[in-house]
């Protein structure tokens, strides 16, 4: 079998859904006249950020699939060093190129277009050279989800790449538990660790909650669900048919969004009034369980997509699968394309709708070009390395 023939179109289509959802969440802007999106549209698009939850489930699926296809029930986990070499060879070079482009874009925006500050540091939009140096070190070492460097450097989605690396580390204890105590107990234990970690962050580090909810243990359950989905797809794990119900998955996602919406707009007032009393606790518990609920919903949808071969049945699904093939490149570069697309559209005197279309189409085109020129080269090298190892 060739690498291409082993691809699951349904998984590529879901990748396309995830990256387009994230892109849509960054779409809103304000015209120079002050005109912006209607409030309800902006609020709806914000939920596209949960494309990251789908990405995490997909990541667990794809990483575990590579091992599960060749594994037997008694197979040992992949060699730690070889695993990391392949992952870094596949993911790090495109990321580093995107990081260099981000830093260059930061200088163009602040130093060339806005002429900010007399010093070199100010031309990158920073007030402190020490902060810039620290952020660059964290970004190069893929630790940026620990200090919010992604937001300051101008490419917010970078935080999730650091999270991915931490989840890769957690893959090895996950495999050990799967082999030692089986999937049911493993999944329960992972859920306990995830919810316990998040609850601890809510109770003891509320001022830094955004950071703690973006690190590996806080998102382990979503990723583990993706790994479990592989063995369900390969029929190595027998589960009730309801586990492959797309309708149930959509209902779970809808209910989670409704709960999240309620907490987002009413929760802060209740918590401010009641703190951790019975009135405020349910809203704080939402921070603990929210991402895991999204993970369950996407897990069910993904099982249904694979079981019913959704990706091969309709042209829209095939179009999404095409986007999914270069989703990593699009994820890395879409923030770099959004601002130039807006500025060029403004200079052409375009209105709200044409500017919105430009901010949607231009990042997709840039992501495709980046894939062709950069990512594909390292993808081919990673495949060759995996074939040699096999």
Q: Using the CB atoms, write b or e for 109-126: b if 16+ within 10 Å.
A: bbbeeeeeeeeebbbbbb
C-alpha of 237 from chain center = 26
Rounded-to-integer distance, Cα 82 and Cα 389, Å: 9
Instruction: Give a three-class secondary structure readout of 170-181.
Output: HHHHHHHHHHHH
Instruction: Give the chain's largest Cα–Cα span.
Output: 65
Rounded-to-integer distance, Cα 273 and Cα 285, Å: 16
Rounded-to-integer distance, Cα 50 and Cα 41, Å: 16
Rounded-to-integer distance, Cα 382 and Cα 388, Å: 10
Rounded-to-integer distance, Cα 233 and Cα 212, Å: 32
Which pLDDT value is given to residue 75?
Answer: 61
CA angle 205, 207, 210 (to 5 degrees): 90
Please, which residues have CB within 8 angstroms of residue 99's CB and are 6 or more apart in sequence? Answer: 139, 140, 153, 155, 158
Which pLDDT value is given to residue 7?
Answer: 76
Which pLDDT value is given to residue 33?
Answer: 86
Per-residue pLDDT of the chain (390 residues; tens, 9 = 90+): 334 446 789 999 999 999 999 999 999 999 988 899 998 999 899 999 999 999 999 999 999 998 888 765 556 777 888 898 888 888 999 999 999 999 999 999 898 888 887 889 999 999 999 999 999 999 999 999 999 999 999 999 999 999 999 999 999 999 999 999 999 999 999 999 999 999 999 889 888 888 999 999 999 999 999 999 999 999 999 999 999 999 999 999 999 998 888 776 665 544 444 444 434 444 566 789 999 999 999 999 999 999 987 766 678 888 999 999 999 999 999 999 999 999 899 999 999 999 999 999 999 999 999 999 999 988 876 665 555 554
Asked if 227 contacts 61 with a C-beta cutoff of 8 angstroms, the reply is yes
Which pLDDT value is given to residue 72?
Answer: 59
Rounded-to-integer distance, Cα 345 and Cα 8, Å: 37
Instruction: Give a three-class secondary structure readout of 224-252.
Output: HHHHHHHHHHCCCCCCCHHHHCHHHHHHH
Beta-ladder partners of 30: 36
Cα 319 to Cα 312, 314, 364: the distances in Å are 10, 9, 12
Rounded-to-integer distance, Cα 162 and Cα 79, Å: 21
Rounded-to-integer distance, Cα 39 and Cα 28, Å: 10
Please, which residues have CB within 8 angstroms of residue 245's CB and are 6 or more apart in sequence? Answer: 300, 304
Rounded-to-integer distance, Cα 377 and Cα 353, Å: 36
Which pLDDT value is given to residue 316?
Answer: 86
Which pLDDT value is given to residue 3?
Answer: 43
Domains in the chain: boundaries: 4-389
Beta-ladder partners of 36: 30
Q: DSSP for 291-303?
A: HHHHHHHHHHHHH
Rounded-to-integer distance, Cα 24 and Cα 20, Å: 6
Rounded-to-integer distance, Cα 223 and Cα 292, Å: 10
């Amino acid at each position: 079998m060739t690498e291409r023939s082993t691809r699951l179109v349904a998984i590529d289509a879901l990748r396309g859904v995830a990256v387009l959802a994230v892109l849509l969440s960054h779409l809103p802007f304000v015209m120079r006249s002050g005109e912006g999106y209607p409030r309800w549209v902006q609020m709806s698009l914000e939920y596209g950020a949960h494309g990251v939850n789908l990405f995490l489930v997909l990541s667990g699926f794809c990483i575990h699939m590579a091992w599960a296809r060749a594994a037997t029930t008694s197979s040992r986990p992949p060699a730690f060093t070889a695993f990391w070499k392949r992952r870094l060879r596949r993911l790090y070079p495109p990321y580093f190129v995107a990081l260099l482009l981000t830093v260059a874009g930061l200088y163009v925006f602040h130093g060339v277009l806005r002429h900010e500050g007399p010093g070199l540091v100010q031309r990158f939009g920073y007030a402190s050279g020490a902060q810039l140096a620290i952020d660059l070190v964290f970004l190069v070492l893929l630790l940026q989800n620990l200090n919010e460097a992604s937001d300051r450097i101008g490419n917010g989605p970078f935080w999730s790449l650091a999270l991915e690396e931490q989840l890769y580390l957690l893959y090895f204890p996950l495999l050990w538990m799967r082999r030692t105590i089986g999937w049911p107990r493993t999944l329960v234990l992972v859920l306990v660790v995830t919810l316990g970690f998040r609850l601890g962050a809510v109770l003891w580090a509320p001022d830094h909650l955004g950071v703690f909810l973006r690190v590996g243990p806080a998102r382990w359950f979503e990723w583990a669900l993706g790994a479990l989905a592989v063995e369900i797809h390969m029929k190595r794990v027998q589960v009730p048919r309801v586990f492959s119900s797309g309708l149930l998955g959509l209902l779970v996602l809808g209910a989670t969004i409704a709960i999240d919406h309620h907490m987002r707009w009413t929760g802060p007032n209740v918590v401010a009034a009641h703190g951790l009393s019975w009135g405020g606790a349910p809203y704080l518990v939402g921070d603990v369980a929210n991402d895991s609920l999204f993970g369950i919903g996407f897990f069910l949808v993904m099982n249904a997509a694979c079981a019913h071969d959704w990706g091969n049945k309709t042209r829209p699904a095939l179009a999404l699968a095409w986007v999914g093939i270069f989703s990593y490149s699009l994820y890395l570069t879409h923030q770099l394309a959004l601002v130039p697309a807006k500025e060029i559209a403004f200079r052409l005197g375009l209105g709200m709708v044409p500017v919105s279309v430009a901010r949607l189409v231009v990042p997709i085109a840039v992501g495709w070009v980046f894939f062709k020129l950069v990512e594909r080269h390292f993808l081919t090298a990673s495949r060759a390395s995996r074939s040699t190892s096999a």
